Amino acid sequence: MKVPIEDYFEDILAKAARGLGLTTSQIADRTGLSRDAIGKALRGEFNEDHVRLMAGPLRLDAEALVVAGRKTWYPEAVEVEGLALFNTQYGDMTVNAFVVWDPASGEAGIFDTGAEAEEMLAFIRRKNLTVKTLFITHTHGDHVAAVDQVLEAYSCPVYVGEGEGASFGQSFSAGKVFSLGSLEVESRLTRGHARGGISYVVRGLKRPLAIVGDALFAQSMGGGMVSYQAALETNRKALFTLPDDTVVCPGHGPMTSIGEEKRVNPFFPEFKV
C-alpha cells in the first residue's frame, strides 16, 4: 500500500505562515512579491522563484521547499519485521495506526487506532499476536476513533500522555519506558501540535522506530495547533537526535526516516548539509 504524501508545498507555506503569525501583506513586504503571487502560492500554484523568495521570511529551507513543490520525492519503502501500518479513512483524509510486535514472543502494542480497527484486528488474529498495550500519541479524534472497538477485542491498558488531559486511559509522564516482549518502548514529549503529544521510540527490531502521531510527517509536520515553536523545539530535541536509520511512523502520510527528513523537511533547515 502506497500512502500518499500528506502535505504539499502550499500546506507547508501555510503552516509556517500561521505558526509565525505572518500575514500575506507581511510576507509581501519581506519578499517583494505581490499579494496576488503569494495567494497563488498558498493555493498551490507552484512558481519556483516565488517559493524560493518566500522560504526566507518563513524560516524554511528553500531547496527542500522546491523539492516539495516539484513533487519529485517519496520516501524509501520500509519493511521491518514486527511493524505494520494501517491506513483508514476519516472524513476527507486518511489516518495511520500501527501495530508493533516482538517476533520472538508475539507480544504486541497498538499505537493509535485510526478511524476504524477492523483490518488491524484481523491482522492481529492472523498473526496470532498477544496485544499487551494500546499507546496513544495524542487524542485528536482521527487518532482515537476506534479505541472502544480495540478494547472490545482486547482487555489491555491504554496509555495517554498526561498533557492531553484525556478522559480515558492511564495518564503518564513522558520518559516512561514500556516493554513488549524483548522490545523497549521509550516515550518522548513532542508537544505543540497537541497539548501533550507523545512519540514512542521502539528499540529491538531490525531498525529503531519512532511512532510520532502528528509531530512529524514525511517532508512536513503536523503544525503548531497549540504552539508552533514548541512543535519545532520538541521535534528537534526528541526526534532529530535519533539515529538516521530510525523509521518515522507518522499519523498521516507514508513512513519515512530521520535521515531522509534531515535532507528533505523544509521546517528544519539547520540539518541540511
pLDDT one-digit tens code per residue, 138-155: 999 999 999 999 999 999
- Arithmetic mean of pLDDT, 74-87: 97
Residue 272 pLDDT exceeds 90: no
22: CATH:
1.10.260.40
Whether 222 and 90 map to the same domain: the answer is: yes
Whether 206 and 173 map to the same domain: the answer is: yes
C-alpha cell at 188: 518522548
Residue 1 pLDDT exceeds 90: no
Of 19, 49, 70, which marks where a domain is finished? 70
Whether 184 and 90 map to the same domain: the answer is: yes
Residue type, 209: L
Whether 49 and 90 map to the same domain: the answer is: no
Whether 21 and 103 map to the same domain: the answer is: no
pLDDT at res. 32: 97
Whether 209 and 248 map to the same domain: the answer is: yes
Smallest Cα–Cα separation from 88: which of 45, 150, 30, 31? 150
Residue 18 pLDDT exceeds 80: yes
pLDDT at res. 163: 96
Whether 221 and 92 map to the same domain: the answer is: yes
Whether 104 and 60 map to the same domain: the answer is: no
pTM reported for the whole predicted model: 0.97
For 155, the domain range is: 83-271
Domain count, the chain: 2
Percent above pLDDT 70 for the chain: 100
Question: Does a structural domain hold residue 212?
Answer: yes
Average pLDDT in the chain: 97
Residue 47 pLDDT exceeds 80: yes
Per DSSP, the residues of 69-93 read HHT---PPP---TTEEEEEEEETTE
